[in-house]
């Protein structure tokens, strides 16, 4: 027989709101998983880097009594969830987007912006929002809980964190559409009608290649296709109004590095590659987004 206390508790439960899956966005509450497919936790997405495919997250949990002065207790209605959640503002880390699962809740982006501030205006986040009580020290029952939470996020985020800190990211440009777009004349490429947008895109790619010169690679197959299309012709660059010397230095520099990388890969055993080195593909869409952001600045 089910105890009466359990039955009473069930009656007080709210039904889970219906939330439709959508593109990943700041403010989403989604499960994040160990890169090896191990532990899974719910997290709030604080920021997203779509260019390098990672997000900055903080862990959340439903144990309101464990909230400290560094945490925020937010009502379930505000985050589109059937229960109140505790957002741990002092525990943040980067995880690969591949580690992030389906949408289960959402906090408005304006509220997330407030969470990133040193002094948080609770009313801006939610009328039901409040801080937890002050953590009193190692004898406080919440002390070990907070330590365990930090270790949990460290474990889940370590693959991405190590790759970003130690610059162990291979930026592979295999998108022929991208390379075609930045080398083809404006008149022959209908998707880039604005000269300014086209120039911004090439400059963005140039700066990107310079900034990440040790990591950017273009596949040899892509180089062959570009040559077949006549897009490595300096006269074409000149006719398009570009600085031939500047563009040539970028293109040929990338080419020789690509050749060098290919040789090294053939001579190096696969076991020698760091487990934390990740390959990220740079696409036309990503570069357009980045060049638009650049132009806005």
Where are the domains positioned within the chain? 4-165, 169-296
The pLDDT score that the predictor gives to residue 165 is 87
The pLDDT score that the predictor gives to residue 166 is 84
- What is the spatial distance between Cα 115 and Cα 72, in angstroms, rounded to a whole number? 9
pTM over 0.85: no
HSE-CB at 162 with a 13 A cutoff on CA atoms is 12
Average pLDDT along the chain, 297 residues, taken 10 residues at a time: 67 64 90 83 92 92 93 90 91 93 91 81 79 91 94 93 85 67 51 50 66 75 75 74 75 74 54 57 72 59
- What is the spatial distance between Cα 235 and Cα 243, in angstroms, rounded to a whole number? 11
The pLDDT score that the predictor gives to residue 195 is 45
The pLDDT score that the predictor gives to residue 93 is 95
Residues 96/169, Cβ–Cβ less than 8 Å: no
The pLDDT score that the predictor gives to residue 51 is 81
CA dihedral 213, 215, 221, 222 (to 10 degrees): -50
The pLDDT score that the predictor gives to residue 142 is 93
Longest dimension (CA), the chain: 85
The pLDDT score that the predictor gives to residue 119 is 79
Alpha carbon 134 to its chain's center: 32
Query: CATH fold of 4-165, please?
Result: SH3 type barrels. (2.30.30)
The pLDDT score that the predictor gives to residue 174 is 66
């Amino acid at each position: 027989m089910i105890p009466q206390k359990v039955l009473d508790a069930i009656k007080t439960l709210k039904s889970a709101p219906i939330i439709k899956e959508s593109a990943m966005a700041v403010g989403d509450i989604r499960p994040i998983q160990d890169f090896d497919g191990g532990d899974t936790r719910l997290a709030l997405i604080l920021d997203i880097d779509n260019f390098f495919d990672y997000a900055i997250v903080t862990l959340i949990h439903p144990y309101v009594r464990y909230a400290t002065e560094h945490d925020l207790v937010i009502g379930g209605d505000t985050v589109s969830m059937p229960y109140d959640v505790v957002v741990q503002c002092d525990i943040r880390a980067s995880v690969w987007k591949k580690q992030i699962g389906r949408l289960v809740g959402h906090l408005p982006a304006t509220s997330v912006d407030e969470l990133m501030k040193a002094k948080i205006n609770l009313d801006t986040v939610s009328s039901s929002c409040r801080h937890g009580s002050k953590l009193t020290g190692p004898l406080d029952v919440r002390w070990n809980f907070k330590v365990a939470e930090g270790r949990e996020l460290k474990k889940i985020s370590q693959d991405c964190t190590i790759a970003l800190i130690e610059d162990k990211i291979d930026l592979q440009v295999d998108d022929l559409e991208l390379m075609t777009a930045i080398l083809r004349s404006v008149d022959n490429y209908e998707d880039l009608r604005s000269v300014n947008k086209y120039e911004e895109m090439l400059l963005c790619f140039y700066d990107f290649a310079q900034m990440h010169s040790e990591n950017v690679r273009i596949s040899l197959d892509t180089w062959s296709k570009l040559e077949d299309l006549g897009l490595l012709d300096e006269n074409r660059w000149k006719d398009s109004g570009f600085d031939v010397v500047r563009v040539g230095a970028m293109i040929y520099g990338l080419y020789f590095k690509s050749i060098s990388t290919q040789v090294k890969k053939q001579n190096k055993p696969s076991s020698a590659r760091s487990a934390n080195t990740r390959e990220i593909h740079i696409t036309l869409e990503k570069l357009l987004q980045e060049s638009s952001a650049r132009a806005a600045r």
